Amino acid sequence: MFSSSLEAPPPPEALPQDPRKRQRVLVWVTAFSVLGLAWLIKITGEVGSGRSETIDRVLLRRVNLLSQSSEGDWMTPAAKFISLIGNWQFVAPLGALVLFFAWRKRLPWRSFLLYLVSVAGSSALTLAFKYGVNRPRPEIVPPLEKAPFASFPSGHTVFALVVYGFLAHLILSHVDRPSRWLMGLLYGLAVLIAGMVGLTRVYLATHYPTDVVAGFLIGAPLLLTVIALDNHFAPSRDIPTDPPAHAIK
């Protein structure tokens, strides 16, 4: 007779995973990262040479018209609040919550370390491009918020995409066989937040549109890489077809 209390189901990260699927994911992530890097290099060159100034100025002026309209009375405070979500002053306390979440939910140290790598990588890459390109902040319209450092790229966009994207990944890692609908919802929400943060940076006249695009091109490959590495090195096991010996009386 079988015992009425069989083994508990394996945790999500211990579920069997097809090695070929992992390899395909890594290939796609690598290809996407290479394409993103190529596009980032192209945009960086255009910004450095001044070829992007025309389109940047036109778009910035059009977005700035919203702040001068009657809708600006409520849009400006809302934009400042959304922009705060991507600020390191908000992300840092959020990181403390991640540490608490990791402690309570017993997240593997691999995921915790990769989260730190993603945050540190975001900071390092953002500062490297800011000091390397050294693009001044927009001056063609009065900024609605003060911002330090150079303009290119948008650090708020990088942080928002990487942090919220990885948080979505951590949540999904604790869901047993998450549906595509749930994955699309959480990852889509992370991208939406990052997109809104980027738009508010342009609205507040602290960034040019190409700064925000560059932020996505830096954050997306970094996010996909750490998620792929987390999944790739996650332990997997085979579920036995026969019940375990200790469950048989």
Place 72 in a pLDDT band, splitting at 50, 70 and 90: low
Tokens encoding 179 = 């549906």
Under 8 Å between Cβ of 120 and 217 = no
Residue closest to 98 by CA, chosen among 167, 156, 160, 162: 167
Give the domain range for residue 156: 19-65+74-235
> What's the pLDDT at 236?
58
Mean pLDDT computed over 55-62:
90
pLDDT at 125 over 70: yes
24 HSE (CA, 13 A, CB side) = 5
> What's the pLDDT at 173?
80
Tokens encoding 134 = 């050294």
Mean pLDDT computed over 138-161:
89
Under 8 Å between Cβ of 140 and 62 = no
**Which of 27-41, 71-85, 202-216 holds the top average pLDDT?**
202-216
> What's the pLDDT at 69?
72
Question: Is residue 36 in some structural domain?
Answer: yes
> What's the pLDDT at 10?
46
Collect all residues with Cβ–Cβ distance below 8 Å to 86 and sequence separation of at least 6. Answer: 155, 156, 157, 159, 160, 194, 197, 201
* Model pLDDT for residues 171-195, shown as the tens digit of each residue: 888 777 888 899 899 999 999 999 9
Question: Is residue 243 in some structural domain?
Answer: no
pLDDT at 238 over 70: no
> What's the pLDDT at 20?
67
Question: Is residue 14 in some structural domain?
Answer: no
Measured between alpha carbons, how far is residue 9 from residues 176, 177, 246 in Å? 9, 12, 15
Reduced 3-state DSSP string for the chain: CECCCCCCCCCHHHCCCCHHHHHHHHHHHHHHHHHHHHHHHHHHHHHHHCCCHHHHHHHHHHHHHHHHCCCHHHHHHHHHHHHHHCCHHHHHHHHHHHHHHHHHHCCCHHHHHHHHHHHHHHHHHHHHHHHHHCCCCCCCCCCCCCCCCCCCCCHHHHHHHHHHHHHHHHHHCCCCCCCHHHHHHHHHHHHHHHHHHHHHHHHCCCCCHHHHHHHHHHHHHHHHHHHHHHHHCCCCCCCCCCCCHHHEC
Place 14 in a pLDDT band, splitting at 50, 70 and 90: very low
CA separation for the pair 99, 112 (Å, rounded): 8
Place 21 in a pLDDT band, splitting at 50, 70 and 90: low
Mean pLDDT computed over 6-35:
62
Question: Is residue 7 in some structural domain?
Answer: no
How much is the pTM? 0.82
Question: Is residue 78 in some structural domain?
Answer: yes
Question: Is residue 13 in some structural domain?
Answer: no
- Taking CB atoms within 8 Å and a gap of at least 24, the contacts of 240-243 are 243/2, 243/6
Question: Is residue 207 in some structural domain?
Answer: yes
Question: Is residue 215 in some structural domain?
Answer: yes
Tokens encoding 101 = 């979440």
In the chain, the number of structural domains is: 1
